[in-house]
Amino acid sequence: MMNVFLVLAAIVTICVGNTIPSVPRDNSHYVEGESRYIWMSEDEGVPILVDLNATVDEAALASRSGANNEYWLYTRYNPTVPQIITHNNAASIWSSNYVASRPLKVIAHGWTNSGNHQINSMLAEAFLTVQDANILVVDWRTVAGLNYVSAVVGVPDVGQHIGDFLTWLINTAGGNWNNVHLIGYSLGAHVVGNAGRATGGLPARVTGLDPAGPLWQTNRNTLSAGDGQYVEIIHTDGLYQGIYRPIGDADFYPNGGVSPMPGCSDSQCSHARAYQYFAASIYYNHFVGRSCQSVIEAAKNQCQGSVLNMGNGILTKRGSGLYGLSTGESWPF
């Protein structure tokens, strides 16, 4: 319902203001860093027309900060029904299934979404199938539900609160930063980047799944190498909804990193492929990337260098550079 409302509101604004006659639904008009409007969707649902010059809703941000984040714990003992851990409430940890010796996987959804988004259930199921882990889903819907420009402005605060929460969790109940893996999709990728930065880059891994591109080209709060011990990026809709330039220690460009991905016909589907590829890699670890000498070589999918697997949940994984590879059209790709 929220998505439908935002789409109607955007269309009404354009019609009333007579700003532009039309915006192609395939984003073929969009030029990164120059265009004012872009169709965006954090899944394969109804795309939303976003005005990148929209006014920041300062009043809403004042009341919808990262302090409103919720932290949902899933384990093999509660794989489908979450337990809520509340920041600064130690009793909420002791009454949960959190075990300090397990790996900790932290997942952040994208814009307009919530803890109930498919990325969370898909990745939680994948991780719990292959290992006994603590899965912590971050529900940051109060900020993610704002207009896109306002949500972008709110990302650093959301990430700071996550970083503070994780520090408190480990200091209170135990844990090891070498067992912490942060994963974020689209706008959520920049959220986990800020979370890792807030801890001083202590998490073992940070994975950005097609990090959001609009308004992030020169944004100093962008997910970056150094936000964790190893930062990996999977680019699937570069130049449209996703950022295209390399920003991590290792940047993967499956099928060239731009829309359409195999089996997709549009930007929305290609954007979502990032978390789908990652989920498949957790199960099978079958995506073998080859190093590229440049982004241009990666875009042409002509990389022939050394190999590094894309994705997976191995906490000791390390690598650097640009990588290209091909995938299939359907699961497990």
Report long-range pairs for 19-25 (Cβ below 8 Å, ≥24 apart). Answer: 23/49, 25/266
Its sign, for the CA torsion 254, 311, 122, 147, is: negative
Active site residue 271: yes
Q: What is the Cα–Cα distance from 209 to 188, expressed in whole angstroms?
A: 8
Q: What is the Cα–Cα distance from 94 to 85, expressed in whole angstroms?
A: 9
User: From the candidates 96, 235, 271, 281, which is the catalytic residue?
Assistant: 271
Hey, how many other C-beta atoms are within 10 angstroms of the C-beta on 99? Answer: 15
The DSSP line for 118-156 is HHHHHHHHHHHHHS--EEEEEE-HHHHTS-HHHHHHHHH
Q: Please tell me what DSSP assigns to residue 247.
A: -
Active site residue 210: yes
219 within 8 A of 235, measured Cβ to Cβ: no
Q: What is the Cα–Cα distance from 100 to 179, expressed in whole angstroms?
A: 9
User: From the candidates 41, 96, 150, 186, which is the catalytic residue?
Assistant: 186
96 within 8 A of 83, measured Cβ to Cβ: yes
88 within 8 A of 159, measured Cβ to Cβ: no
- Interhelix angle 267-284/118-130, rounded to 10 degrees, is 10
User: From the candidates 43, 157, 210, 237, which is the catalytic residue?
Assistant: 210
Active site residues: 186, 210, 271
